Structure 1
Amino acid sequence: MIRKANAVWKGDGRNGTGALTTQSGVLSDNPYGFKTRFENEPGTNPEELIAAAHAGCFSMALAFGLQAAGFTADEIHTEAAVTLDPDGDGFKISRSALTLRAKIPGIDGAKFQELAHGAEKNCPVSKVLNAEITLEAQLIAS
């Protein structure tokens, strides 16, 4: 399975503009630039997209782990906070902090933590990130 996306950039780093397009068309010439990446101007940026990918991948990995263990979640809510830090002359993604809140009928806290940490380590996006990954997981009573 191969998934594709492309970026087109025009101009210099600070004043130029870019557009992101995904194979599925969910993003189609979505604009991004210096201000959406470094100054919180509305719009997307690569780190936000990595955070979305990590949260989505982790949530699905947990759902599969729960299913294999005989559980079905009422809700899995995951936030990923990706940190972009200076690194020499450039930048690096240094961390992705996952925060999980889940409603899972019939599971005990220890099994929940075991499955959540397994998903943290084994989702494909976690495996590709060369960054510290943390998980704070809370089971919410159903």
Structure 2
Amino acid sequence: MKRNATAVWTGSLKEGAGKLTTQSTTLENTQYSFKSRFEEGVGTNPEELVAAAHSGCFTMQLSAYISEGGFEIESIETKCDINLVEGTIIESHLTVTAKVKGIANEAFQELVTKAEKNCPISKLFNTEISTTATLV
């Protein structure tokens, strides 16, 4: 399986602007800029998209592990915070809240750790990954 996205940028770093388009066209000529990345401009930015990719990938991986264990998932919600410092992503932190019928917290935490280490986006990163997980 291969997926793709295209970025087109015009102008200088600070005054220029870009557009992102994904293969699925979920993003289609979506605006991004220096302001949307480092200030409060309109549009998306690479770190926000990385956070979306990591939270989505992790959540699907956790869902697979929970289902394999024979538990019924009511919901899983994952927020990802990407920490960019001096041009380097130094951390991806996942905050997970899940409703799963019949699972003990200890078993849930083990599956969270397993998903954190094994989702394809986690494997892609060369940074610290941490997780806070709550079973409700």
TM-score grouping bracket, smaller chain normalisation = over 0.9
Is the contact between residue 72 and residue 102 of structure 2 (CA under 8 Å) also seen in structure 1? Answer: no
1:122 has 2:118 as partner? yes
SS in structure 2 of the partner of residue 6 of structure 1: strand
Measure, in 2, the Cα distance between the counterparts of 1:97 and 1:40: 22
RMSD: 0.6
What one-letter code is carried by the residue in structure 2 that aligns with 1:79?
A: K
2:78 aligns with: 78
Shift in Å, 1:131? 1.1
What one-letter code is carried by the residue in structure 2 that aligns with 1:32?
A: Y
SS in structure 2 of the partner of residue 13 of structure 1: coil
Is the contact between residue 19 and residue 29 of structure 1 (CA under 8 Å) also seen in structure 2? Answer: yes
Runs of 4+ in structure 1 off by over 6 angstroms are none
What one-letter code is carried by the residue in structure 1 that aligns with 2:130?
A: T
Could you tell me which runs of 5 or more consecutive residues in structure 1 were left unpaired when the two chains were aligned: none
State the percentage of identical aligned residues.
49
1:14 has 2:14 as partner? yes
What one-letter code is carried by the residue in structure 2 that aligns with 1:77?
A: E
Is the contact between residue 31 and residue 42 of structure 2 (CA under 8 Å) also seen in structure 1? Answer: no
How many pairs align? 136
1:34 has 2:71 as partner? no
TM-score (norm 1): 0.94
Alignment deviations for residues 66-125 of structure 1 (CA, whole Å, 9 cap, x no partner): 111111210000000001110xxxx11111000000000100011000001100000000
